[in-house]
């Protein structure tokens, strides 16, 4: 492939820089590319504490657009006012012989995707998403973008770090600037159409239900929708709610960087309790991890059903939902209740199902093996997979060593973050409200091998970065020395997941079985009072859901150690008899 070389020119972002642009001779080869071809540009302003404010754009006339930004835009927008008054702002102008409108829009969008994940960027301005579908020359876009980023990295490595360092970050994976699949794009267009029809009217509670299993791309779709709905020109009051602490961190970080308003992101209970119901009506509520909504009262939430309370407060509620990820009795929905939700959405043609698996970088045979184990109660012959690594270990020490080795390998490569972690089923006691009587930490223990590690964010961090508090559990350096649970990794990606399957999961008569009496999470094993007053236990179903979620955390690999001897033996057997599937 012989794409033409990328040209990057740097100018001061002020009148002097504008004059230098105007003085470029458009009859020269450089001048023709900069002055007469479409270009992409990045305006950066380095503030205090090595933080940056950045604007990314594209234009068919860089001189005219720069003049607009310097003279007209500051009268209407605070972001441009700040940049125009800065004495340290610079502008990169990016040119290429093959640039056309579609390609420059694509490059602009990719720059937003990566820059939005840079720790030192505290404000990123643009106000639009421009991911492109097919165009000429789309096949050159990846190569041209890598050229651009690498050249910018050479000029300013703090603002443009190595690309692979950013790809692992939770904020990158939740960015609204990812190129959507055809399935996601169809869903987005349908939802935006429904919102456009609903907002002018005062009717409340329209439900749009987006279903999809782990890794189906639900978060990216939701993030893209939220960004578009928060566009000031849309004039829509939109809120994004999630019950998961780690995902909440990520979304707040996204909202802050992109100027969407951190206050627009919160937990459902906080939103519901913030004001009286009749005073708290918004246009759109987007709910990520909708299966984590409470379906009964708990702690600060005094209602009976968070979804129904949200529907009273919004014209449209967009609910991202996977019933296979419900892990607490307070979140339980019976099969009839799930069917009722689906029927409610179907009546308005608002039921959307995402089917593509996008998290696990594996063959279909490997995906099937994990599904059969996590949901089918069957352990089949383990497939050979050149893309995805599954290893079974006969001791927790060996699993720990393997995970730490993978983590160190990533860090030492300088091209990736160490986001490989040890996780476990909730089979060991833990309380965030108290400390154990005889120990410094609540521990995950295996007495057979005299092994233990603390878990669930108990270790005080020794390493802090600029935005340390905004990092998810897996991104914090010190968490390599502890074990994560369903509450720290649900909704997150790991490069390699080292899963310790505790004693609540076993193997009998050729089937995976569950032992609720060995599970330590009372929220999963206690009885649930149903609407008719009867009590029912959902423990086995909830432990299965937990196992399924944990099995699907690793993007590139899954390491497993089972405490139950029968399960461990079966897993070791199938590992020895790996089978190649075509």
Q: State how many domains the chain has.
A: 3
Q: How many CA atoms lie within 13 A of 299 on its CB side?
A: 6
Residue 550: inside a domain: yes
Distance of CA 182 to the CA centre of its chain: 19
Residue 177: inside a domain: no
Note whether 151 and 57 are same-domain residues.
yes
What confidence score (pLDDT) does residue 490 get? 82
Residue 452: inside a domain: yes
Provide the residue range defining the domain that includes 261: 182-353
Q: Above 80 in pLDDT, residue 450?
A: yes
Peptide bond into 8 cis (omega under 30): no
For the four alpha carbons of 233, 131, 151 and 25, in that order, the dihedral sign comes to negative
Q: Above 80 in pLDDT, residue 65?
A: yes
Note whether 196 and 325 are same-domain residues.
yes
Note whether 115 and 186 are same-domain residues.
no
Give the separation between CA 340 and CA 351, rounded to whole angstroms.
12
Q: Above 70 in pLDDT, residue 278?
A: no
Q: How many CA atoms lie within 13 A of 146 on its CB side?
A: 6
Q: Which neighbouring-strand residues pair with 241?
A: 266, 287
Q: Above 60 in pLDDT, residue 172?
A: yes
Give the separation between CA 201 and CA 203, rounded to whole angstroms.
6
Average pLDDT over residues 93-107: 95
Note whether 240 and 309 are same-domain residues.
yes
- For 504-534, the pLDDT digits (tens) are 999 999 999 999 999 999 999 999 888 788 8
Note whether 369 and 347 are same-domain residues.
no
Note whether 523 and 407 are same-domain residues.
yes
CATH number at residue 222: 3.40.50.300
Note whether 233 and 285 are same-domain residues.
yes
Domain boundary among 161, 195, 225: 161
Give the separation between CA 526 and CA 522, rounded to whole angstroms.
6
Note whether 98 and 56 are same-domain residues.
yes
Note whether 299 and 414 are same-domain residues.
no
Note whether 326 and 463 are same-domain residues.
no
Bridging pattern class, strands 535-536 and 528-529: antiparallel
- For 214-251, the pLDDT digits (tens) are 788 899 999 999 999 998 888 999 999 998 888 999 99
Residue 167: inside a domain: no
Average pLDDT over residues 337-348: 93
What confidence score (pLDDT) does residue 275 get? 64
Give the separation between CA 514 and CA 505, rounded to whole angstroms.
5
Q: Which neighbouring-strand residues pair with 240?
A: 265, 286
Give the separation between CA 52 and CA 120, rounded to whole angstroms.
6
Domain boundary among 353, 376, 394: 353
Residue 457: inside a domain: yes
Residue 359: inside a domain: no
Residue 154: inside a domain: yes
Domain boundary among 304, 323, 353: 353
Residue 169: inside a domain: no
- For 123-132, the pLDDT digits (tens) are 998 866 667 7
What confidence score (pLDDT) does residue 581 get? 47
Note whether 369 and 342 are same-domain residues.
no
Note whether 396 and 327 are same-domain residues.
no
């Amino acid at each position: 492939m012989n794409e033409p070389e990328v040209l990057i020119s740097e100018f001061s972002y002020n009148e002097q820089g504008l004059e230098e642009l105007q003085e470029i001779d458009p009859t020269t080869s450089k001048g023709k590319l900069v002055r007469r071809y479409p270009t992409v540009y990045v305006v950066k302003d380095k503030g205090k504490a090595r933080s940056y404010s950045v604007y990314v754009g594209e234009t068919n006339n860089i001189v005219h657009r720069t003049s607009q930004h310097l003279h007209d835009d500051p009268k209407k927008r605070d972001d441009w006012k700040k940049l125009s008054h800065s004495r340290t702002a610079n502008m990169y102008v990016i040119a290429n012989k093959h640039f056309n409108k579609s390609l420059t829009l694509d490059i602009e969008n990719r720059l937003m995707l990566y820059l939005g994940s840079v720790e030192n960027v505290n404000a990123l301005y643009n106000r639009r998403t421009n991911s492109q579908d097919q165009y000429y020359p789309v096949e050159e876009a990846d190569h041209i973008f890598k050229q651009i980023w690498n050249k910018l990295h050479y000029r300013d490595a703090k603002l443009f770090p190595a690309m692979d360092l950013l790809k692992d970050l939770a904020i990158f994976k939740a960015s609204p600037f990812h190129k959507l699949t055809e399935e996601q794009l169809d869903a987005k267009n349908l939802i935006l159409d429904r919102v456009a029809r609903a907002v002018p009217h005062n009717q409340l509670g329209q439900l749009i239900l987006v279903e999809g299993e782990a890794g189906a791309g639900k978060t990216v779709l939701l993030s893209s929708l939220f960004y578009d709905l928060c566009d000031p020109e849309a004039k829509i009051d939109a809120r994004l709610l999630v019950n998961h602490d780690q995902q909440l961190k990520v979304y707040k970080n996204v909202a802050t960087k992109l100027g969407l308003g951190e206050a627009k992101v919160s937990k459902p209970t906080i939103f519901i309790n913030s004001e009286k119901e009749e005073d708290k009506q918004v246009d759109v509520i987007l709910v990520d991890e909708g299966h984590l909504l409470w379906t009964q009262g708990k702690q600060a939430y005094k209602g009976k059903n968070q979804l129904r309370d949200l529907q009273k407060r919004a014209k449209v509620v967009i609910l991202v939902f996977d019933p296979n990820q419900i892990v607490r009795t307070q979140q339980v929905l019976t099969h009839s209740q799930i069917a009722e939700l689906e029927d409610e959405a179907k009546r308005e043609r608002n039921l959307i199902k995402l089917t593509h698996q996008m998290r696990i970088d594996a063959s279909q045979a490997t995906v099937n093996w994990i599904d059969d184990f996590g949901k089918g109660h069957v352990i089949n012959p383990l497939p050979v997979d050149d893309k995805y690594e599954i290893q079974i270990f006969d001791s927790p020490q060996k699993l720990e060593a393997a995970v730490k080795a993978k983590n160190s390998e990533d860090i030492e490569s300088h091209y990736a973050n160490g986001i490989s972690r040890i996780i476990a089923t909730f089979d060991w006691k833990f309380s965030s409200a108290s400390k154990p009587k005889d120990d410094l930490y609540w521990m995950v223990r295996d007495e057979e091998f005299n092994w233990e590690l603390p878990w669930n964010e108990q270790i005080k961090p020794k390493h802090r970065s600029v935005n340390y508090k905004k990092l998810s559990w897996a991104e914090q350096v010190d968490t390599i020395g502890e074990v994560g649970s369903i509450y720290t990794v649900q909704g997150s990606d790991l490069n390699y997941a080292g899963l310790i399957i505790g004693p609540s999961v076993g193997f009998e008569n050729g089937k995976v079985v569950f032992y609720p009496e060995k599970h330590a999470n009372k929220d999963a094993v206690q009885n649930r009072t149903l609407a008719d007053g009867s009590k029912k236990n959902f423990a086995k179903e909830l432990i299965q859901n937990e196992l399924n979620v944990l099995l699907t955390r690793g993007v590139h690999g899954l390491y497993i150690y089972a405490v139950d001897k029968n399960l461990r033996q079966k897993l070791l057997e199938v590992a020895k008899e790996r089978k190649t599937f075509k």
